[in-house]
Amino acid sequence: MKRRNFIKKLSLTAVPFTLGGIPIRLMAENSLTRMAEQSTNDRVLIILQLHGGNDGLNSIIPVEAYDLYYRWRANIAIPAKNSLRKMIALDSTLPSDTQVGLHPDMIAMKDLYDRGRMTIVQGVSYKNNNGSHFRGRDISFMGGGFDDYFSSGWVGRYLQQEYAPQIYPNDFPNPSMKDPLAIEMGSDVSLIFHQEGNIPTSISLNDPQTFAQLVEELEGFTDEGIDPRGKPPAALSDSPYGKELNWILGLEDKSEDYAERLYEVYRNAPTSSVTYPERYPFNAPKGSLKNGLTPQLQLIAKLLDGGGPGLGIKTKVFLVKLGGFDTHAEQVESYDPTMGHHAALMYHISSSMKAFQDDLKARGLEDRVLTVTTSEFGRRVRANGSYGTDHGTGAPVMIFGKGVQPGVIGKVPDMNKENIEMQYDYRQVYANLLRDWMLVDDNKINNDIFFKDFINGPKEDGTGNYEPLALATQIISGLSEKFIENRFRLDDCFPNPANLTTTIPFKINNTNLIDITLTDAQGRIIKKLLGEERTEGSYAISVDVSDLSPGIYFYHMKTGFFQETKKLIIHR
Q: Where are the domains of the chain?
A: 3-481, 488-570
When pLDDT is averaged across residues 384-389 and rounded to a whole number, the result is 97
Reported confidence tier of residue 475, pLDDT bands at 50, 70, 90:
low
- Cβ neighbours of residue 325 under 8 Å, at least 6 residues apart? 50, 51, 52, 53, 54, 55, 342, 345, 375
Distance of CA 113 to the CA centre of its chain: 13
Q: Which of 9-18, 257-266, 354-363 is least confident?
A: 9-18
CA distances from 481 to 114, 361, 433, 471, 525 (A): 10, 16, 21, 16, 28
Q: What is the spatial distance between Cα 102 and Cα 63, in angstroms, rounded to a whole number?
A: 10
Q: What is the spatial distance between Cα 212 and Cα 556, in angstroms, rounded to a whole number?
A: 54
Count of alpha carbons within 13 Å of 61, Cβ hemisphere only? 28
Q: Provide the pLDDT for residue 7.
A: 40
For the purposes of burial, counting CB atoms within 10 Å of the CB of 158, is it exposed (0-12), middle (13-18) or buried (19 or more)? buried
- Cβ neighbours of residue 463 under 8 Å, at least 6 residues apart? none
Helix residue ranges per DSSP H, 180-281: 211-217, 240-268
Crossing angle for the helix pair 341-362 and 107-114, nearest 10 degrees? 40
For the purposes of burial, counting CB atoms within 10 Å of the CB of 223, is it exposed (0-12), middle (13-18) or buried (19 or more)? exposed
What count of other Cβ atoms lies within 10 Å of the Cβ of residue 84? Answer: 7
**Cα dihedral value 186, 192, 197, 201, nearest 10:** -20
Q: Which of 101-105, 147-151, 230-234, 403-407 is least confident?
A: 230-234
For residue 232, is it left (φ>0), alpha (ψ between -120 and 50) or beta?
beta
Q: Which of 16-20, 209-213, 327-331, 412-416 is least confident?
A: 209-213
Partners of 125 in the β-ladder? 425
Q: Provide the pLDDT for residue 244.
A: 61
Listed residue (263, 270, 257) closest to 298, CA to CA: 270
When pLDDT is averaged across residues 218-233 and rounded to a whole number, the result is 49
When pLDDT is averaged across residues 163-187 and rounded to a whole number, the result is 60
Pairing of strands 317-322, 44-50: parallel
Listed residue (294, 296, 286, 385) closest to 341, CA to CA: 286
Q: Which of 151-160, 472-481, 542-551, 556-565 is least confident?
A: 472-481
Q: Provide the pLDDT for residue 448.
A: 92
Q: What is the spatial distance between Cα 258 and Cα 25, in angstroms, rounded to a whole number?
A: 11
Is the per-residue pLDDT at 534 higher than 60? yes
Given a contact cutoff of 8 angstroms between Cβ atoms, the answer to whether 45 and 317 are in contact is yes
Q: Provide the pLDDT for residue 414.
A: 96
Q: Provide the pLDDT for residue 474.
A: 61
Is the per-residue pLDDT at 4 higher than 60? no
Given a contact cutoff of 8 angstroms between Cβ atoms, the answer to whether 459 and 466 are in contact is yes
Reported confidence tier of residue 218, pLDDT bands at 50, 70, 90:
very low
Is the per-residue pLDDT at 220 higher than 80? no
**Torsion 424-427-431-437 (CA) sign:** positive
Is 166 or 477 the better-scoring residue by pLDDT? Answer: 477
What count of other Cβ atoms lies within 10 Å of the Cβ of residue 261? Answer: 16
Share of the chain above pLDDT 70, in %: 78
Q: What is the spatial distance between Cα 237 and Cα 10, in angstroms, rounded to a whole number?
A: 20
Is the per-residue pLDDT at 280 higher than 80? yes
Q: What is the pTM of this model?
A: 0.87
Most confident of 36-45, 154-163, 226-235, 422-431: 422-431
Q: Provide the pLDDT for residue 260.
A: 78
Q: Provide the pLDDT for residue 461.
A: 81
Q: SS3 for 485? A: helix
Q: Provide the pLDDT for residue 523.
A: 92
Q: Write the pLDDT tens digit of every residue in 33-84.
A: 444 545 668 899 999 999 999 999 999 999 999 999 999 999 999 999 988 9
Q: Write the pLDDT tens digit of every residue in 119-156.
A: 999 999 999 998 999 999 999 999 999 999 998 999 98
Listed residue (400, 436, 449, 439) closest to 46, CA to CA: 400
The amino acid occupying position 255 is S
What count of other Cβ atoms lies within 10 Å of the Cβ of residue 384? Answer: 17
Reported confidence tier of residue 241, pLDDT bands at 50, 70, 90:
low
Q: Provide the pLDDT for residue 25.
A: 59
Q: What is the spatial distance between Cα 358 and Cα 329, in angstroms, rounded to a whole number?
A: 35
- Mean residue pLDDT of the chain comes to 85
Fold of 488-570: Immunoglobulin-like (2.60.40)
Partners of 182 in the β-ladder? 27, 317
Q: Count the residues in the chain.
A: 572
Q: What is the spatial distance between Cα 513 and Cα 192, in angstroms, rounded to a whole number?
A: 45
Q: Write the pLDDT tens digit of every residue in 288-320.
A: 999 999 999 998 999 999 999 989 998 889 999
Pairing of strands 88-89, 100-102: antiparallel
Q: SS3 for 92? A: coil
Partners of 120 in the β-ladder? 398, 408
